[in-house]
C-alpha cells in the first residue's frame, strides 16, 4: 500500500509545528523525576510552551536558531530528558544522539514519529533490542499539521519513549483525543 500525497510541498527543515494536544498527551507519560527537558527541534516553540504549561523547565534549540542537535560539539549540561518532533529524515540520528546524551544521567527520551516507525527491521536495535525502550504511546487522532487544511491528515503518529531507568518489557498505551 502506498502512502498518499498530502498535496503540500515539504516544509523547510521539516518544521511541522506540533499541536498542543499532542504534547499534552505525552505529559502524563513523562517520569515524575523529570523536571528539565531539552527540546532540540523547537521551531517556533509550540511544544516547548505546552511542556512549560505542564510544569517543566524547557531548554529549547533549533537548527534555524543556530544550534544543530546532531553536532557532536553541542553538549548541554544536566538536561535529563529530551523531547521533540524530529525532522523525519533524521529521526534515527536524533534518537541515537538523544539516547547517547541521556544515558549517563539515566534520563529519558520521547520522540514523536509515525506510528509505523518501529516496523523497520533495520531499526530493531532502537526498539525490540534496546534496553531503554519503555513505551509506545499511540495517538488515536491524526495530527492536523496545517491549521488551514481542508483535507484529512494522512498519517498516524505515536510518541516513542525511552527511559534508561525502565525495567522489563516495553508497554503500549493509547491516547484518545475527543
Tens of pLDDT, residues 48-75: 999 999 999 999 999 999 999 999 998 8
Low-confidence residues of the chain: pLDDT under 50: 1-4, 6
Q: Which of 22, 10, 12, 13 is nearest to 41 (CA)?
A: 13
Q: Which of 142, 122, 121 is nearest to 19 (CA)?
A: 142
Q: Give the separation between CA 159 and CA 149, rounded to whole angstroms.
A: 23
Cβ–Cβ < 8 Å for 24, 143: no
The pLDDT of residue 20 is 95
State the DSSP code for 10. Answer: P
Q: Give the separation between CA 17 and CA 91, rounded to whole angstroms.
A: 16
Q: What is the pLDDT of residues 25-36, one digit of tens each?
A: 999 999 999 999
Amino acid at each position: 500500500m502506498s502512502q498518499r500525497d498530502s498535496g503540500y510541498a515539504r516544509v523547510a527543515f521539516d518544521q511541522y509545528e506540533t499541536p498542543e494536544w499532542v504534547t499534552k498527551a505525552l505529559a502524563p507519560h513523562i517520569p515524575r523525576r523529570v523536571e528539565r527537558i531539552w527540546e532540540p527541534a523547537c521551531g517556533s516553540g509550540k511544544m516547548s510552551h505546552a511542556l512549560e504549561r505542564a510544569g517543566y523547565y524547557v531548554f529549547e534549540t533549533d537548527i534555524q536558531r543556530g544550534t544543530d542537535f546532531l553536532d557532536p560539539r553541542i553538549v548541554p549540561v544536566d538536561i535529563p530528558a529530551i523531547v521533540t518532533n524530529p525532522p523525519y529524515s533524521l529521526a534515527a540520528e536524533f534518537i541515537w544522539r538523544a539516547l547517547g546524551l541521556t544515558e549517563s544521567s539515566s534520563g529519558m527520551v520521547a520522540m514523536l514519529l509515525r506510528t509505523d516507525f518501529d516496523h523497520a527491521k533495520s531499526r530493531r536495535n532502537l526498539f525490540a533490542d534496546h534496553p531503554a525502550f519503555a513505551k509506545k504511546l499511540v495517538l488515536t487522532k491524526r495530527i492536523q499539521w496545517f491549521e488551514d487544511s481542508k483535507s484529512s491528515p494522512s498519517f498516524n503518529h505515536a510518541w516513542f519513549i525511552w527511559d534508561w531507568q525502565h525495567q522489563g518489557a516495553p508497554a503500549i498505551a493509547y491516547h484518545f483525543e475527543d
